């Protein structure tokens, strides 16, 4: 018998979440219904698709084979829907972007607002997480990352370079003495990421400039910048954040300057989705323009 697509949709959610309750939350249905629908699919196919373990629901070999076909079917349906929605003049529906909290707080709000103005029927969601967004579990339709992933079936496009410099408040420097050379850096209190929670090597800024102790740490860029604006220490900040914190001043710009990049990462199966292609183009253009605009206002 041919399986019901709605049952397949539930199967895919359980395969991704490895839990009936988590799949239910994603699908907005109760776990008991999820379990019944999985059982119905197994009966239809006369195959056991999951085994229960301490880690949750694990795919059997039959489940693994079905997953591959289910993902292809899901991608085809998404592409078809995107082709229809993308053919209209204005984008509609819902699109979710995952991003590190620095870009999610300081770039995406204004970029997405402009896209929303041009597409009033489009719902845009920004998922700000201090970790890598899991696209394979459909946490988001696309993600902004600080390094280009090399594993998985993904579309990766470089969006923009951005600059970072050391910053502090004038009050802090007056109280603790000026920083005139790299050798002065170790005599100051440093603010940065929690070392064992740095989820991407590209974020290990302090290691790059020889700082081995972080006195005030957070996994959030926004918290780090809040701390430095209170005059409590020195941190490395994205230049595009500085217009939002006019009390901060760059330090040693002629001696220490970092450059990083943003990449837009998408599901490989979405490459024929006209709706997501149009949104990705607008997002890429908007981020490039916004980085240039904000950095232009911080040139030392």
| Surface-to-core class of residue 300, CB atoms within 10 Å of its CB (0-12 exposed, 13-18 middle, 19+ buried) | exposed
What pLDDT was estimated at residue 224? Answer: 96
What pLDDT was estimated at residue 245? Answer: 95
What pLDDT was estimated at residue 79? Answer: 64
pLDDT above 90 for 267: no
pLDDT above 70 for 300: no
pLDDT tens, position by position, 152-208: 788 999 999 999 999 999 999 999 988 888 888 888 999 999 999 998 899 999 988
If you average pLDDT over every residue of the chain, what do you get? Answer: 89
In contact, 98 and 139? CB cutoff 8 Å: yes
What pLDDT was estimated at residue 113? Answer: 97
What pLDDT was estimated at residue 283? Answer: 97
pLDDT tens, position by position, 74-129: 766 666 665 655 455 688 889 999 999 999 999 999 999 999 999 999 999 999 98
Which pair of tokens denotes residue 174? Answer: 């007056």
Q: Distance between CA atoms of 23 and 11, rounded to whole angstroms?
A: 9
What pLDDT was estimated at residue 16? Answer: 83
Q: Distance between CA atoms of 299 and 294, rounded to whole angstroms?
A: 10
In contact, 262 and 160? CB cutoff 8 Å: yes
Instruction: Indicate the helix (H) or strand (E) that contains 104.
Output: helix 101-106
Span 128-140, average pLDDT = 79
Contact residues for 271 (Cβ-Cβ < 8 A; gap 6+)? 155, 277
Q: Which of 98, 162, 197, 151 is nearest to 291 (CA)?
A: 162
Span 243-251, average pLDDT = 95
What pLDDT was estimated at residue 299? Answer: 63
At residue 69, φ and ψ (nearest 5 deg) are -70, -35
What's the residue count for the chain?
Answer: 300
Span 243-265, average pLDDT = 94
Read off the pTM: 0.73
- Cα–Cα distances in Å, from 105 out to 110, 118, 127, 223, 242? 9, 21, 10, 11, 12
What pLDDT was estimated at residue 83? Answer: 60
What pLDDT was estimated at residue 144? Answer: 95
What pLDDT was estimated at residue 3? Answer: 75
What pLDDT was estimated at residue 255? Answer: 92
Span 197-220, average pLDDT = 90
Parallel/antiparallel/unpaired status of strands 234-238 and 190-192: parallel
What pLDDT was estimated at residue 18? Answer: 86
Structural domains of the chain, with CATH = 5-84 (1.10.10.10), 91-159+265-296 (3.40.190.10), 161-260 (3.40.190.10)
pLDDT above 60 for 254: yes
Span 234-245, average pLDDT = 96
pLDDT above 90 for 70: no
- Give the lowest-confidence range in 17-26, 118-127, 134-143, 238-247: 134-143
What pLDDT was estimated at residue 88? Answer: 55
Please report the beta strands in the chain, taking only residues with DSSP state E, as ranges in sequence order. 50-53, 56-59, 92-99, 121-128, 142-145, 154-169, 190-192, 216-217, 234-238, 248-251, 258-267
Confidence grade of residue 1 (pLDDT, cut at 50, 70, 90): low
């Amino acid at each position: 018998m041919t399986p019901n697509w709605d049952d397949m949709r539930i199967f895919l959610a359980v395969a991704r979440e490895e839990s009936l309750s988590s799949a239910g939350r994603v699908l907005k249905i109760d776990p008991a219904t999820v379990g019944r629908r999985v059982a119905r699919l197994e009966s239809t196919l006369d195959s056991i698709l999951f085994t229960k373990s301490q880690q949750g629901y694990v795919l059997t070999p039959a489940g693994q084979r079905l997953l591959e076909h289910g993902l292809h079917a899901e991608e085809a349906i998404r592409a078809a829907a995107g082709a229809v929605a993308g053919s209209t003049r204005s984008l509609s529906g819902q699109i979710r972007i995952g991003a590190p909290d620095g870009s999610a707080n300081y770039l995406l709000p204004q970029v997405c607002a402009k896209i929303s103005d041009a597409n009033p029927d489009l719902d845009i969601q920004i998922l700000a997480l201090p970790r890598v967004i899991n696209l394979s579990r459909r946490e988001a339709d696309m993600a902004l990352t600080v390094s280009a992933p090399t594993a998985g079936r993904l579309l990766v496009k470089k969006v923009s370079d951005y600059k970072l410099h050391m910053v502090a408040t004038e009050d802090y420097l007056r109280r603790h003495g000026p920083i005139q050379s790299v050798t002065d850096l170790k005599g100051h209190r440093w603010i940065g990421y929690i070392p064992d929670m740095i989820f991407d090597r590209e974020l290990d800024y302090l290691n790059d400039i020889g700082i081995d102790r972080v006195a005030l740490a957070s996994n959030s860029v926004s918290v780090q910048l809040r701390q430095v604006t209170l005059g409590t220490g020195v941190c490395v900040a994205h230049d595009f954040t500085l217009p939002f914190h006019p009390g901060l001043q760059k330090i040693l710009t002629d001696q220490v300057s970092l450059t990083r990049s943003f990449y837009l990462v998408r599901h490989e199966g979405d490459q024929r989705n006209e709706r997501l292609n149009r949104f990705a183009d607008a997002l890429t253009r908007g981020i490039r323009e916004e980085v240039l605009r904000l950095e232009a206002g911080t040139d030392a």
